[in-house]
Structure 1
Amino acid sequence: MSRSSWIAAVLCALAILLAPLPASADPGDEGGSAELTEQLEAANRAYIDAQNALTASQMRQALLSAQQAELEPRYRELVRETETVTVAAYQYGGGLRDAATLLDSPTPGVFADRVSLLELVARRQSAKLRELAGVRDGLEATKATIDGEVARQQEQLRVMARQKEAVEAALAAALTRESQPILDPATTNSTSTPLVVPQPAPRRADGSWPPETCGMKDPTTKDGCLTPRTLHALQQVKLAGFGRFVSCWRSPPQPYEHPKGRACDFAADPKGFGGVASGPSKEYGTQLATWLVRNAQPLGVMYVIWYRQIWTPAAGWHTYESGRGDPSSDHTNHVHMSIY
């Protein structure tokens, strides 16, 4: 080997040794208690179920209101037509007056014409009255159904209020009395967040989320799996332009929804999970967290954790403290996404 070739080989080896380490497979211990995780999952699932039921009921009410708006003009029109037919029936004969009208017929032809006219008036009157009764019954049924939907909506709102209180209570109990970080709006909202609208995840016909198991290949790990909805959310995040390192599935007994294939951690720094994010890396994490919150409903996001703060559909942004103070458990180096 020539001297120049040897120097080139040494420089190449040094470059490999000095190169940044690849992104770690996961952010490490994320902290948090199993009890808090269970409380958040139960309350937020109940909240999202009630929210979906409320939305479905509101959609049904809108359709019923549209039907009612179509029926009411027809009902008023039928009332006028029925009144016209009734007047005609009175004019051309009714009851005993029919016989008198027929007996006064000057010729057999006039007699036959009057018989036909009376039959026509009677049929028209009967048909209009039946149609009027049918439309009236339809309006009454529609109104009763709308009243039922409103009652269901009020119940779902009560459920959502209870679950909101449950989430807030669980988060408040998780904070230590000695240290309660102040919520920082700068880490929960970014004006630079991409405006990319994700494709909604599939739902049932009634708007609810179907139950899913961890059956899809996790592209972020070698042997892991994800639920179809989590995989969909991961794909939509990448399509929105968030392409930095991400790790989803983890083997038990890891906390949160990772072992269930319902969670992903998105590194804030381009090099992967490391220390506390700052500058552009912190802004990247804030943009991602903001995007997930804005699109939580179509994607089925159950909660987002970022920079010592947690967002839930039931209670919005709240302070989140692991009590350990490291970047992983405080979520200051990655954004955590849990999917329903």
Structure 2
Amino acid sequence: MAATYLRQAKHVLALLAAVLVLLVAPPAAHAEPDEEGGSKTLRAQLESAAKGHVQAKQKLEASKKRQVTLKAALKQAQGKTAELSGRVQEIAGRSYRQGRLTTMTMLLGSTSPDALIDRMLSLDQMAQVDGRALAGYRDAATIAEKATKAIELEIKEQQKQVTVMAKKKQQAQDALAAAGGGQVAGGFVSANSPLAKAAPRNSDGSWPGEGCTVDDPTTGGCITPRLLNAHRQAQAAGFKRYTSCFSQRASGEHPQGKACDYSAAAGGFQNVNASGGDRTYGNNLAAFFVKNADRLGVMYVIWYRQIWLPGSGWRTYNGGSGGPAAAHTNHVHLSIL
């Protein structure tokens, strides 16, 4: 009996010792932030708003480029018709004055075989010149008409995309407001932020679809090529503190390889609000991503209770309870399209 009690006592002591170790052991210096605050619904709304805004903006810009090309074609066609209008009027006037029998009359009026041949050549040359002038005028007028109609369609397309952009901006603001944020914020902007190397785009200016296909240099998982470019550009700009990109989470961009968390502290993620040089580091990093948002394909940036989205700019962000990780006061979050 005594031996049994002794064995039980040893098990209890061992369990207590293990609990004490867990209680007093310091957290790992590079432990990833927990779920970063905000609901799955909020993240889905922000992603939809950001992607929709960027796509509409790309379509708007593409339409404006097409309109410039069409205007150039219209101007050239109008110049051609103006140049040929005098010739066309001359042909029309001559046809009216001389009538349909002009050619036969001219031939019958020849006084010799040589004169007949000369007149036939003259008539043929005149017909060729008249034909080219009329065809050129007709083609130029057709081009001008088509260009005018196409320009009208492009204007309607631009109005449509402007409306879409406004709706997506409102969608983001409504989602943030529902979570207790969304007010205009001062944000983080620096005119001295260096320019990043742009990520590849499609020929029409849109962003190619990308999967989690390249090795994540920060965690050993996978990320998209566009996120890898953004991460490398940040490092090249001097932002080399601890970073964690891919991670298995319930939602968001991290498990898709489309997001990174950048520690404000040099030693890794800390469960405290960044201050002093650490906060300055975060400010500068957030400003770098925003300045290069169009070059890197940034979907949104979160830092120190604020979020930047394309079209909305910096807005207040409420990550809910969860301390510095949820408030994003100990790390900068980057999500890529």
Match of 1:53 among 49, 52, 59: 59
For residue 235 of structure 1, what is the aligned residue in structure 2? 232
Amino acid at match of 1:169: D
SS in 2 for 1:303: strand
Pick closer, same or farther for the CA change 1:267–1:183 going to 2, 3 Å.
Answer: farther
Amino acid at match of 1:215: T
- 8 Å CA contact 1:23–1:245 kept in 2: the answer is no
- Worse-superposed segment, 291-300 or 98-107: 98-107
Amino acid at match of 1:268: A
For residue 212 of structure 1, what is the aligned residue in structure 2? 210
- 8 Å CA contact 1:89–1:122 kept in 2: the answer is no
Does the alignment pair 1:144 with 2:149?
yes
For residue 257 of structure 1, what is the aligned residue in structure 2? 253
- 8 Å CA contact 1:302–1:338 kept in 2: the answer is yes
For residue 39 of structure 1, what is the aligned residue in structure 2? 45
Amino acid at match of 2:260: C
SS in 2 for 1:280: helix
Amino acid at match of 2:69: L
- Worse-superposed segment, 164-173 or 230-239: 230-239
For residues 279 and 84 of structure 1, the distance between their equivalents in structure 2, rounded to whole angstroms, comes to 83
Does the alignment pair 1:190 with 2:190?
yes
For residue 279 of structure 2, what is the aligned residue in structure 1? 282
For residue 201 of structure 2, what is the aligned residue in structure 1? 203
For residues 257 and 313 of structure 1, the distance between their equivalents in structure 2, rounded to whole angstroms, comes to 17
Deviation at 1:25, TM superposition (A): 4.1
- The answer for unaligned runs of 5 or more in structure 2 is 1-25
For residue 132 of structure 1, what is the aligned residue in structure 2? 137
For residues 43 and 181 of structure 1, the distance between their equivalents in structure 2, rounded to whole angstroms, comes to 13
Does the alignment pair 1:272 with 2:277?
no
Please list the CA deviations of residues 221-260 of structure 1 after superposition, one character each: whole Å capped at 9, or x if unmatched: 12x110111112112222223222211011133x421111
Deviation at 1:184, TM superposition (A): 4.9
Deviation at 1:339, TM superposition (A): 0.7
- 8 Å CA contact 2:42–2:179 kept in 1: the answer is yes
Correspondence 1:25-36 to 2 at 5 A: 25-36=31-42
Correspondence 1:56-71 to 2 at 5 A: 56-71=62-77
For residues 229 and 292 of structure 2, the distance between their equivalents in structure 1, rounded to whole angstroms, comes to 13
Does the alignment pair 1:174 with 2:150?
no
- Deviation beyond 4 Å, 4+ runs, structure 1: 20-23, 84-91, 180-184
Deviation at 1:210, TM superposition (A): 2.2
Amino acid at match of 1:157: V
- Worse-superposed segment, 307-316 or 65-74: 65-74
Pick closer, same or farther for the CA change 1:272–1:154 going to 2, 3 Å.
Answer: same
Q: Percent identity?
A: 41
Deviation at 1:172, TM superposition (A): 0.5
Match of 1:314 among 311, 314, 319: 311
For residues 217 and 268 of structure 1, the distance between their equivalents in structure 2, rounded to whole angstroms, comes to 24
- 8 Å CA contact 1:230–1:263 kept in 2: the answer is yes
Pick closer, same or farther for the CA change 1:126–1:183 going to 2, 3 Å.
Answer: closer
Pick closer, same or farther for the CA change 1:198–1:110 going to 2, 3 Å.
Answer: same
Deviation at 1:325, TM superposition (A): 6.1
Computed over aligned residues only, the root mean square deviation of the Cα atoms, in angstroms, reads: 2.5
Amino acid at match of 2:209: P
- 8 Å CA contact 1:85–1:124 kept in 2: the answer is no
SS in 2 for 1:143: helix
Amino acid at match of 1:216: V
- 8 Å CA contact 2:58–2:205 kept in 1: the answer is yes
- 8 Å CA contact 2:185–2:315 kept in 1: the answer is no
Please list the CA deviations of residues 35-56 of structure 1 after superposition, one character each: whole Å capped at 9, or x if unmatched: 1111111222222221222122
For residues 57 and 201 of structure 1, the distance between their equivalents in structure 2, rounded to whole angstroms, comes to 22
- 8 Å CA contact 2:199–2:226 kept in 1: the answer is yes
Amino acid at match of 1:99: M
- The answer for unaligned runs of 5 or more in structure 1 is 1-19
Amino acid at match of 1:208: S
Deviation at 1:263, TM superposition (A): 0.3
TM-score by length of 2: 0.84
SS in 2 for 1:317: strand
- 8 Å CA contact 1:268–1:335 kept in 2: the answer is yes
For residues 84 and 270 of structure 1, the distance between their equivalents in structure 2, rounded to whole angstroms, comes to 83
SS in 1 for 2:135: helix
For residues 31 and 324 of structure 1, the distance between their equivalents in structure 2, rounded to whole angstroms, comes to 7
- Worse-superposed segment, 294-303 or 265-274: 265-274
